[in-house]
Amino acid sequence: MKIEAFSHPKARDLSVPGDDVLLHLPGRMTGVFDGASDSLGRRINGVPVGRLAAMAAAQAAAALPAEAADWAARDILETLSRAVAAQVPTDADDGPASTTAMIAFEKTDGIRMLGIGDTGFRVNGGAAQIADLAPDRVSIPARVALFKLFLDRGEPMEKCEDASRACIGKGVNWAVNEGLLSQADAERILQGTLDQLAMPKAVDEASDLIRHGLQSQFRLANAEDAQLGYGVLNGSPLAMRHAIDQTIAHNGLASIEIFSDGYLAPPPMVSIDGWENQHADLETTDPYKISRSLAVKGSTPTAFFDDRTVAILRF
């Protein structure tokens, strides 16, 4: 097997480490872990808690015995999740630190892909497989609507980015209190987003998320009964219905790519240049992620909208 990998933090000048962590143990496993960017900016000894969470999960994966490749999915993922909780203590009232995981275990009968969260993979350059992050169905259209509201006011693009980030991060209730939005504007953003949501049972959860912002999203993490629930490694009991676990036979296998969500769309070719060229094209045509490639935040002159990592395994 041959491995190619590339990772770039949000900081364009590389001055700040990213929250993505890449793991490769020859003959054992390759994984990508994407620590959740913390909306409150929490750090421990100067390191963002999202990066610490990803590092803790990667270290726990590296410490697994060789036979763990055959363990039940829950046993593996809970081992990593417990490590995150143990190594990254955070204020429970503000939500635990968390990370995604996607790991390719090398086995005699194939490559076992096991993961949770929205770090994805694809086989032989085919369709990407990514676990659904349901809150994005709410936060992304709300943030895009906020950006366009500020743009309609005549604000410059960078100010629209800053304001929409703040509003979706802290919630429209906060934005009204701060004078960024009128109550009428906040209600229009809320109702417009709910009107687009094809999940009638999720209206209350969606409303709470828009009103209180991404800083409240952790309440949906591993929430089995939540319509907008999603899976993540954060020390809480895992919502395994959001996990991915499949084994890909060696026969006919040419490549597996594992990638974090800093890459919004996979390229037509299987190569690092392909991923980077696709990323550069999206950055040029839609830097604020409001038209061609929607996201919960856009890029700025000093930072890309997210860290990005890709590992390519060739067989």
Same domain flag for 147 and 13: no
Looking at the structure, do residues 107 and 191 belong to the same domain, yes or no?
A: no
- pLDDT value, residue 193: 98
Q: What is the CATH number of the domain that holds 10?
A: 3.60.40.10
Q: Is the pLDDT of residue 199 over 80?
A: yes
Q: Where are the beta strands (DSSP E) in 131-234?
A: none
Q: Residue 7: which pLDDT band, with cuts at 50, 70 and 90?
A: very high
Tokens representing 16? 């700040």
> Has residue 225 been placed in a domain?
no
One domain for residues 36 and 111? yes
Average pLDDT over residues 61-88: 97
Give the number of domains in the chain: 2
Beta carbons of 103 and 115 less than 8 angstroms apart: yes
Instruction: Report the percent of the chain where pLDDT is more than 70.
Output: 100
Q: Which of 23, 171, 27, 24 is nearest to 100 (CA)?
A: 23
223: pLDDT strictly greater than 90? yes
Residues 240 and 91 in one domain: yes
pLDDT at residue 299 in the model: 98
Average pLDDT over residues 208-225: 96
The overall average pLDDT reported for the chain is: 96
Element (H or E) spanning 6, and its range?
strand 2-8
Contact 233, 81 (CB under 8 A): yes
Residue 46 clears pLDDT 80, i.e. is over it:
yes
Nearest to 185 by CA among 144, 217, 145: 145
pLDDT of res. 41: 85
Tell me, what's the pLDDT at 92?
65
Q: Which domain, by its residues, includes 185?
A: 136-220
Per-residue pLDDT tens for 80-129? 999 999 999 877 678 899 999 999 999 999 999 999 999 999 999 999 99
